Structure 1
Amino acid sequence: MNMQMNDLLGGGLAAGVRRRLRAQQAIQLVLMPGEEVCIQGADAGQCCEILAFDAKGQSAVDALELNGYQAGATVTQAQLEAGRPSAQRLLQQLKGFSVDPHQLSAAVHLAPDELPCVITASERSGPVSLVLIAPGLDMRPDEQLTVSELDISIHYLPERTPELPEPLAQPVQDLHIPHSSARVYRVKAGEWIQIIDVAGKQCSDFIAFDEAALEQGEEVTLDAVATRTLAGQALPQPGLYSRFADSRLQPMLELVQDTVGRHDSFLLACTPKYYEDEGYFGHVSCTDNFNRALKDYGVKPRAGWPAINFFFNTLIEPCGTVGMDEPWSRPGDYVLLRANRDLICASSACPDDIDPANGWAPTDIHVRVYGAENQFERAIAHRVVPEELPRMTLQTAFHSRTSKLTRHFAEYRGYWVPTEFEGWGARAEYLACREKVAVMDLSPLRKFEILGPDAEALLQYALTRNVRRLAVGEIVYSAACFETGGMVDDGTLFRISEQAFRWVCGDPWSGTWLRELAAQRGDQVSIRESTDQLHNLAVQGPNSRELLKQLIWQPETRTPVSELKWFHFTVGRLGGPEGIPLMVSRTGYTGELGFEVWCHPDDGTELWDAIWEAGQDYGLAPLGFDALDMLRIEAGLIFADHEFCNQTNPYEAGIGFTVPMKTKEEDFSGRTALQRQAPESRHKLVGLVLEGNEPVHHGDIVYDGRMPVGQITSATPSPLMGKMIALCRVQPDWSAPGTELEVGQLDGLQKRLPAAVQALPFHDPERIKVRS
């Protein structure tokens, strides 16, 4: 039954519909005779356990020829018996699928080395219901046996209608819009509108009217200029606004979820004129369809309807020119909106088949409306690699606590993180960290467990640092580079044991890159992501050691927090030998004495509560990303997409110390490219101190006279220095401390802000505080 994914499509089967089976969870699906499902792991090491039932509810394991595998869902049973929150979540799912835990003995166990696996329903089996489980025990912070998601690809018969995604709740309206048509529907204040692309690559134009105004004969609709003005956007951009307003500057709709991320917010719905100008006279258009559908509501026809163009992939050049290409949306992708008032809405399934707007083949749109009593979390999609299913924004283990302290959140690397806290604000949070102690949620950091005989050899090649010099219990900060010398990422490497490491970084793609590198080299190594099993709080500031040493218990064989050295870690428990397991590292991103405390996400609230309660005696404050930016810029610490990208090498990013070119004799990725570069020609990362307090920003050009010599990478008002400061990448001849330069704004010439170069870091240049 084992085969590669590209061998799956048998004669007559439709393209696969993919689903993600999350770690420690289950999904249910139905196969008709002739249809098949392929199960494979995102990384090696994850098993799958399967229950199969025929139309009479009897086991179909025999008929599906699965009896050659190990019998019994032993790992699922172990997860349930552990009694942890993950067990309760899985048990609730199984009950929803009408599965009794006693039936798990009739399941089959597919070991990691038995994946990928293809299961085919036959005439003998008839229609079958499958329950697929990706089971596993919770990983403790000092363990590396993580649980991973599985990728499920289902291949249906061509005549089967593509399955819509499961409803988010019980719909109050279910409206199907055949291709090349439009429909009108009423939505009450507070109700939720889900617009679904059924088959993928299909645009859907959307317009809305204030129902009360329309009843009075006034057409109050979504307004592009009002929406852009309130959002602070001069022009539409590919994407969606968080709120859409009418001409009275009042919000009509809120965007709550979006699985695509690529739309046009306010071009016209396609018009008869567009098709006529292209020579397609009489071609049906969304505008004509809207005019017909709205006639019964007394709405006057228009030559073109301003609309939100859902799933329409516009390309906007720097000069403002608008182009377009095939949509990014895939089968089942959707947007979820919430109505701020009673609305009359109209949605289309665009008929455009003369260009790539609908992938050259218009298909259907489906609309679901949910009652106002429901609650759906805000989320937008991202993808680590283009071909995978969308990943919606997640909440960290500490969100239930931080959300009680603030409503100011931003999306970072697929998670919601607080930007500042109500009652404190960025300045107060900053001062708490510099003078007392602060706690911050850094859970979006990606964690990868790297184990095996070749783990050290792989990391010695992948990272710039000399990994062979790293002792067990020690941590090192390193860059990772492409062969070009440009940076893949930066991060910290923990040596857990002789053949086991943990790489903690910012970019989730780092794991993909490491797996590809290991495959190219033929290394015997396992690389598995553990982010979902390991969340972390940063506890930073002069009082951080005193705070944590009273909370963390360690066995005699482990280093106590009070003696933990810089860039080392220890293992302990919260409050005593029976407390929740923790890992504590002497690391941070603030330039202050500080630690990071790592736990399983299900233990997050208990950890936060303990730190928060004990911290009150030490002046503890929460710390958001706005304050963190001030702290890390003063400390000269770099940030992805500001100080470095894939075209910036570690020297230019200001972390040349991570490249021990003389003492690391072995080759590493990017070494040859870095050696070819003359040190005298490298741009340098320096500090800038502005004379005034006018703000400067990432991307501002730095000049000597009319000559551009550098660019601002990050900037902040500095409470420490009482001035605006910046990190800046400059050409080497202008990098000496004291060099006088100017930051150009407007066109770079009409407005200049005087500045002087200063050596980094601005704060604690000898790193005395962080080492104390």
Structure 2
Amino acid sequence: MAVASRPRLRVPGLLPSDPAREIYRVRRGAATVVALRPDDRITVRDLDGGQRAELTVLAPDGRDDFAGLGTAPTARATVLRSLVERGGDGAETIVARLARTGFDPSEAAAVEVFDRFTPPGAEQVFRAEREVIVVVGAPQGEPVVEGGIPASDLQLEVRRAEPARGPLEPALPEPLAEPRLDFQVDRASALAYEVRAGEFIQVIDVRGRQCSDFLAFSAPKLQDGKERGLDATATRSLMGNAYPSPGLCSKFFDHDLEPLVEVVRDTVGRHDTFGLACTRKYYEDMGYFGHVNCSDNFNAQLGPYTIEPRTGWPAINFFFNTAFDAHNLYVVDEPWSRPGDYVLLRAMTDLVCLSSACPSDIDPANAWNPTEVHVRVYPAKERFSAAIAHRVTPDAEPKLTRETGFHPRTSARTGRMTEYNGYWLPTAYDNLGAVAEYWACRERAAIMDLSPLRKFEILGPDAEALLQATMTRDIRRLADGQVVYTAMCNETGGMLDDGTVFRLAPDNFRFVGGCEYDGIWLREQAERLGLRVWVKESTDDLHNVAVQGPASREILSRVVWTAPAQTPFPELKWFRFSVARLHGPQGIPLIASRTGYSGELGYELFCHPQDAPAVWDAVMEAGTPHGLQPLGLDALDMLRIEAGLIFAGYEFDDQVDPFEAGIGFTVTPGKEEDFVGKEALAQRRAHPQRTLVGLELQGNETAGHGDCVHVGRSQVGVVTSGTRSPILKKNIALCRMAIQYAEIGTEVEVGKLDGQQKRIPATVVRYPFYDPDKTRPRS
């Protein structure tokens, strides 16, 4: 009798089990270098379609050797040459590596693979006949703001004839710079090392899901006979976070409340500062006598230093996944870290540091399998961007936080930056603050950076069909030059995202949403439906500012020029756009749309990131006489809540349908063609359970996201967003409410503490709270 095989756990992002297979990414406008041995195979894959690739093939001595890959050059290597001429992503590293072979990249030739009509997922395979070095470049696309097609990344898959490493043997990530110290902390061990002020410490999880306890002591204080190390309690109290992260709340302190290290980068974002490094007692209490432990390992390394040994060391436990649950219990699970993930720290003073590779194999702390940790120390002269990593899918390569094209202007006005959707954005501006910025928008005008919105070009003969099959709106009714706000749902009717669709031409659309996954999902639907369409992300080609407020039209009319074939800028109606330029027919190209997220008359300007500072300067110069001010995320939140505008993760997620999120109007009634979620949405429309309502709270205490809403003991709703409205002089909130209590005038209570011990009286009111008929944005 056959025994059914058990389903295997899915663990995306961990080290692949096939050591002969290697995956690399070629970023647009950049190049990736891969060394091949005889009979190795390399597959060049165009995941998004329409992206050219350039392959330069070299012998180990730097000579051209295209025959070694069974091919011949067909063109100049434009990517390599541009890296030499103007630099680029990883340019210095690539040029230096090739220069060591004696190769001159400025004279490079290439074989071209793919073209602008290549379908998504196309691939081409090459086999190495001898040792060769292959340089794969992904040329930049044409400027999207001028009607071009954006470039996209390529994927390389190398299949080794003879694997260079054994099964599950990891490959260390490339150093971030030339390290001063570079060493491995073997599994179940610890090492001490000294770091000078200003130097950078990189703690790397080599194989993934491995904890590394970290100690650091002030060396000057040790010289004075004072032992001052990292203190988790002091750090949490001063930073207001469980553990510091890049940005404003980034420092670890000692118990003198002086900073010792600053977190510069973190590719995991999930650590522990609650507990001790593992101790002998922990294992003894679990019945494992004599088990090696981090605290004893640390003590063994402290011999050269005047640091008193401890039975249990309070450490910073990088990659350790712990939390306190709703019942105040301390819980442990497997780490979130993947192979090559790291934390990068900057020493604030001279330090004595210790790093461990935790030995715990009796619980999930190291995913039941302790492995090694790697440490690198870089000189203080190096410069690394502050960044948090995000992955669009669990097995995707991490992307570090970036700066928008407008960052040179916004950062000159404030240091209060937060990571939002993969970019650094201001929360508020110096000498202004959220309330002043808010009033500027309500009474005059404000400019805000919204570049992190994700943009996707939907191109090809089936572009309209794809959007018709994936959006809740009737896209076929959209005219050229028109914008429509829509929802994008899954099969159960839950919202994947909301966004706007721009129709640039019969077969050219642009979707602007909040989530990078939108592009992946749209490509999956195109493949499922067998459509001939290209979905190309253009976020890096189109950065945008919103100029909002009563004076916005007058301000922008001074700087935005439109050709006779376009709707004149002052005549743009609500949810319309024009292709435009700055100042005149030879000026910077723009897309000017009458859209916004403030509840006021307003516009958005889209431009290439390299032109962003000039666009900002022109708008600020024209707007200064009208009282134009920059506006950050804190003020934007106040504006959008007053205007009843929803936000992902607050008013909706993939369990909430558009009716529950308060945007049921985006589901076109009677839309004949099928679209994802159509049947589920019809059922939800007919049988609603919850809906979005407005609440007006009594008193001066605000409601926050997640606060429960009660009638008597029973919970009947949950607050999705809340704020204190400056213009209404009231505390207001958006609430997802059971329909039985959604009628205007219904009295409810917002629960605080445990939801029972403290209640704020509230009343269901009409929303949007401010300008409910939207006369101002229509004006």
Q: TM-score with structure 1 length normalisation? A: 0.92
Identity percentage of aligned residues: 51
- Per-residue CA deviations over 1:7-38 (Å, capped at 9, x if unaligned) read xxxx9962545443221112323334455544
- In structure 2, the residue matched to 1:435 is 443
Note if 1:71 corresponds to 2:74. yes
Q: What displacement does 1:724 show?
A: 1.0
Code of the residue aligned with 2:389 in structure 1: it is: A
In 2, the alpha carbon distance for the partners of 1:236 and 1:623 equals 28
Comparing 23-32 with 426-435, greater Cα deviation is found at: 23-32
Over 3 Å counting, the alpha-carbon distance change for 1:13 and 1:649 in structure 2 is closer
Contact 1:237 1:264 in 2 (8 A): no
Q: What displacement does 1:54 show?
A: 1.4
Q: What displacement does 1:465 show?
A: 0.5
Contact 1:445 1:504 in 2 (8 A): yes
Q: What displacement does 1:579 show?
A: 1.4
Over 3 Å counting, the alpha-carbon distance change for 1:558 and 1:678 in structure 2 is closer
Note if 1:131 corresponds to 2:135. yes
Note if 1:669 corresponds to 2:671. no
Contact 2:404 2:543 in 1 (8 A): yes
- In structure 1, the residue matched to 2:739 is 732
Q: What displacement does 1:237 show?
A: 11
Over 3 Å counting, the alpha-carbon distance change for 1:16 and 1:353 in structure 2 is farther
Over 3 Å counting, the alpha-carbon distance change for 1:724 and 1:518 in structure 2 is same
Residue correspondence of structure 1 range 429-578 to structure 2 within 5 A: 429-578=437-586
In 1, the alpha carbon distance for the partners of 2:500 and 2:705 equals 25
Q: What displacement does 1:363 show?
A: 3.2
- In structure 2, the residue matched to 1:337 is 345
Note if 1:766 corresponds to 2:773. yes
Comparing 649-658 with 100-109, greater Cα deviation is found at: 100-109
Code of the residue aligned with 1:704 in structure 2: it is: V
Note if 1:146 corresponds to 2:154. no
In 1, the alpha carbon distance for the partners of 2:382 and 2:557 equals 44
Contact 2:141 2:148 in 1 (8 A): no
Residue correspondence of structure 1 range 571-610 to structure 2 within 5 A: 571-610=579-618
In 1, the alpha carbon distance for the partners of 2:613 and 2:36 equals 41
Aligned residues: 752
In 1, the alpha carbon distance for the partners of 2:453 and 2:675 equals 24
Q: What displacement does 1:723 show?
A: 1.2
In 1, the alpha carbon distance for the partners of 2:608 and 2:82 equals 15
Note if 1:52 corresponds to 2:45. no
Over 3 Å counting, the alpha-carbon distance change for 1:457 and 1:78 in structure 2 is farther
Q: Give 3-state SS (helix, strand or coil) of 1:429's partner.
A: helix
- Per-residue CA deviations over 1:229-269 (Å, capped at 9, x if unaligned) read 22335x67999972222222222211110112232234322
In 1, the alpha carbon distance for the partners of 2:714 and 2:338 equals 48
Q: Give 3-state SS (helix, strand or coil) of 1:52's partner.
A: strand
Q: What displacement does 1:352 show?
A: 3.2
- In structure 2, the residue matched to 1:747 is 754
- In structure 1, the residue matched to 2:298 is 290
Code of the residue aligned with 2:768 in structure 1: it is: P
- In structure 2, the residue matched to 1:309 is 317
Contact 1:688 1:757 in 2 (8 A): yes
Contact 1:286 1:348 in 2 (8 A): yes
Over 3 Å counting, the alpha-carbon distance change for 1:701 and 1:95 in structure 2 is same
Q: Give 3-state SS (helix, strand or coil) of 1:152's partner.
A: strand
In 1, the alpha carbon distance for the partners of 2:347 and 2:497 equals 41
In 2, the alpha carbon distance for the partners of 1:765 and 1:466 equals 25
Over 3 Å counting, the alpha-carbon distance change for 1:265 and 1:117 in structure 2 is farther
Residue correspondence of structure 1 range 356-395 to structure 2 within 5 A: 356-395=364-403
- In structure 2, the residue matched to 1:3 is none
Code of the residue aligned with 1:591 in structure 2: it is: G
Q: What displacement does 1:499 show?
A: 1.3
Over 3 Å counting, the alpha-carbon distance change for 1:79 and 1:129 in structure 2 is closer
Code of the residue aligned with 1:746 in structure 2: it is: L
Q: What displacement does 1:552 show?
A: 1.5
- Per-residue CA deviations over 1:353-377 (Å, capped at 9, x if unaligned) read 4444334443332212122233322
Runs (5+) with no aligned partner, structure 1: 1-10
In 1, the alpha carbon distance for the partners of 2:45 and 2:325 equals 40
Q: Give 3-state SS (helix, strand or coil) of 1:295's partner.
A: coil
Q: 1:721 aligns with which of 728, 742, 755?
A: 728
In 2, the alpha carbon distance for the partners of 1:741 and 1:417 equals 36
Over 3 Å counting, the alpha-carbon distance change for 1:119 and 1:248 in structure 2 is farther
Over 3 Å counting, the alpha-carbon distance change for 1:239 and 1:422 in structure 2 is closer
Code of the residue aligned with 1:545 in structure 2: it is: R
Contact 1:538 1:596 in 2 (8 A): yes
Code of the residue aligned with 2:150 in structure 1: it is: T
Note if 1:14 corresponds to 2:22. no
Contact 2:144 2:538 in 1 (8 A): no
Contact 1:139 1:147 in 2 (8 A): no
Comparing 493-502 with 748-757, greater Cα deviation is found at: 748-757
Q: Give 3-state SS (helix, strand or coil) of 1:533's partner.
A: coil
Contact 2:743 2:764 in 1 (8 A): yes
Q: What displacement does 1:138 show?
A: 3.9
In 2, the alpha carbon distance for the partners of 1:203 and 1:396 equals 33
Residue correspondence of structure 1 range 155-166 to structure 2 within 5 A: 157-159=163-165, 162-166=170-174
In 1, the alpha carbon distance for the partners of 2:749 and 2:709 equals 6
- After superposition, the CA RMSD in angstroms is 2.7
- In structure 1, the residue matched to 2:11 is none
Code of the residue aligned with 1:72 in structure 2: it is: A
In 2, the alpha carbon distance for the partners of 1:170 and 1:549 equals 51
In 2, the alpha carbon distance for the partners of 1:586 and 1:368 equals 50
Code of the residue aligned with 2:748 in structure 1: it is: L
Q: What displacement does 1:709 show?
A: 2.0
Q: 1:705 aligns with which of 708, 712, 720?
A: 712
Over 3 Å counting, the alpha-carbon distance change for 1:34 and 1:209 in structure 2 is farther
Q: TM-score with structure 2 length normalisation? A: 0.91
Contact 2:31 2:79 in 1 (8 A): no
Code of the residue aligned with 1:14 in structure 2: it is: P
- Per-residue CA deviations over 1:139-175 (Å, capped at 9, x if unaligned) read 2314251111123345562448854333223322223
Comparing 92-101 with 424-433, greater Cα deviation is found at: 92-101
- In structure 2, the residue matched to 1:256 is 264
In 2, the alpha carbon distance for the partners of 1:510 and 1:271 equals 46
Over 3 Å counting, the alpha-carbon distance change for 1:451 and 1:75 in structure 2 is farther
- In structure 2, the residue matched to 1:5 is none
In 2, the alpha carbon distance for the partners of 1:179 and 1:41 equals 39
Code of the residue aligned with 2:141 in structure 1: it is: L
Over 3 Å counting, the alpha-carbon distance change for 1:16 and 1:412 in structure 2 is farther
In 2, the alpha carbon distance for the partners of 1:305 and 1:32 equals 48
Runs (5+) with no aligned partner, structure 2: 1-15
- In structure 2, the residue matched to 1:6 is none
Over 3 Å counting, the alpha-carbon distance change for 1:371 and 1:236 in structure 2 is closer
Q: 2:434 aligns with which of 426, 438, 456?
A: 426
Contact 2:30 2:83 in 1 (8 A): no
Contact 2:388 2:401 in 1 (8 A): yes
